[in-house]
Amino acid sequence: MDIIQKEIQKRESEIIKELELLFKANLKITEWDIPEVDQNAAAKALVEVLEKGIEKIKKDIEDGKY
C-alpha cells in the first residue's frame, strides 16, 4: 500500500460520514420544501445527484484538472 492509500484509508470513515451528512442535510431540505414528500423517492433522487457529482469529478481527474 502506498502513502496516498494509507492516508485516505486513515480518513475513510470521516469522508464517508461527511458524504452521509451532505446527503442527510439535502434530504432534510427537501422535506422542508415539500411537506408530503415521498422520502424514499427523494433519497433515490439525491443519490442520483451525488453520483452525477462523482462522475463529474472522475471526468475532471481524467482531464487532468486534479
Percent over 70 (pLDDT), the chain? 100
In the predicted structure, residue 17 carries a pLDDT above the cut 80: yes
In the predicted structure, residue 1 carries a pLDDT above the cut 90: no
How far is residue 4's CA from residue 59's CA, in Å, rounded to a whole number? 20
- pTM score: 0.85
Residue found under cell 452525477: 52
pLDDT of residue 61: 98
How far is residue 38's CA from residue 30's CA, in Å, rounded to a whole number? 10
How far is residue 57's CA from residue 49's CA, in Å, rounded to a whole number? 13
pLDDT of residue 54: 97
pLDDT tens digits, one per residue of 21-35: 999 999 999 999 999
How far is residue 39's CA from residue 50's CA, in Å, rounded to a whole number? 16
